[in-house]
Amino acid sequence: MLKKIISGGQTGVDRAALDVAMRLGLPHGGWVPKGRLAEDGPLPSYYQLDEMPTDDYAARTEKNVLDSEGTLLITRGTPSGGSDYTRKMALKHGKQLLHIDLTLGQRASDAASLIASWIEMNRIETLNVAGSRASGDPAIYMDTVNILTHLLQ
The pLDDT, as a whole number, for residue 52 is 97
Q: In CATH terms, is domain 4-152 a member of 3.40.50.450?
A: yes
Tell me the domain boundaries of the chain.
Answer: 4-152
How does pLDDT run across 27-62, given as a tens digit for each residue? 999 999 999 999 999 999 999 999 999 999 999 999
The pLDDT, as a whole number, for residue 68 is 98
The pLDDT, as a whole number, for residue 120 is 98
DSSP states along 94-122? T-EEEEEEGGG---HHHHHHHHHHHHHHT
How does pLDDT run across 71-89, given as a tens digit for each residue? 999 999 999 999 999 999 9
Would residue 11 be called left, alpha or beta, if left means φ above 0 and alpha means ψ between -120 and 50 degrees?
beta
Residue 96 CA to residue 120 CA, distance in Å, equals 12
